[in-house]
Amino acid sequence: MSILLTEKTRILVQGITGSEGSFHAQQMIQYNTAAPVVAGVTPGKGGQKVMDNVPVFNTVEQAVKETGANASVIFVPPAFATDAILEAADAGLALVVCITEGIPALDMVKVYNAIKNTKTQLIGPNCPGVISPGIGKMGIMPAFIHKPGKVGVISRSGTLTYEAVSQLTARNIGQSTCIGIGGDPVIGTRFIDALEFFKNDDNTEAVVMIGEIGGTAEEEAAAWIKENFDKPVVSFIAGQTAPPGRRMGHAGAIISGGQGTAAEKMKVLAAAGIHVCKSPAEIGATVEKALQGEE
């Protein structure tokens, strides 16, 4: 069973006429079996049809009214992305996935505060998106490496998500839903939020949690898991050799004041009973052992 992206999801693509939006929307259309792409939104381009039969609207509100869309994936430049998120939330969409990277953290603070009391669940920004194998995807991940199953994946890193999924699939371990939460300092869905979704999904039997240096999200998740989560969790922390004070790829992956190191995070995770991998190459084998009840 999937979470967030399900058979009831009807997707619109904000920025569908741009190069990134059109390319990935086409990939989504080809893969999605139960969660169709029903509309696109590009201001000023309303009235067109793209990819044979997907109608384009000027506003999200129009798209929702005409097509019944209830989820959006955003492929627009950073300067317009925050307005796109707010427009989707104002239209009442239940799920919004923002792929855009480079959004200023201060802008995201304003967005976070504006939507936190709405029904909209934001994934991202600066993320690969969400995929429920066998149902559909909203994002940029390579769908062919995924396999339907019962292991959830939550990750701050897109490429490490793909590595983990590839290892799981190679061992014939399928995934329920894979969520790239993004590597920015301010994001819509945290580890704890995603873990709670998986906790309430009876068909998710284990979770892979991929973190990075910087911040305290992994430590907070470890404390929550220890108190609230009874399914096996396998974790890997990226950036184990990163020097303090230097940002490594993601805006949120920076060690400051001696906090947020990989060693510190790994210690806290292990103390919470989580299976911690020292290398990303160990993720698949560790999940297999965890599912079999091995230490």
Catalytic positions, written as ranges: 250
Structure tokens at 220: 């907070």
Distances (CA, A) of 169 to 49, 145, 181: 36, 7, 21
Quote the Cα angle for 43-59-87, to 5°.
110
Note whether 207 and 275 are within 8 A (CB). no
CA 147 to chain centroid: 17
Note whether 42 and 17 are within 8 A (CB). yes
Owner of token pair 């190679």: 170
What residues are paired with 137 via a beta bridge? Answer: 131
Owner of token pair 């796109």: 84
User: Dihedral of CA 218/220/222/228: which sign?
Assistant: negative
The helix/strand/coil state of 265 is helix
**Strand pairing report for 136-139 and 129-132:** antiparallel
The helix/strand/coil state of 81 is helix
Segment holding 226, helix H or strand E:
helix 217-228
What is the rounded CA–CA span in Å between residue 188 and residue 129?
Answer: 12
Quote the Cα angle for 145-149-150, to 5°.
125
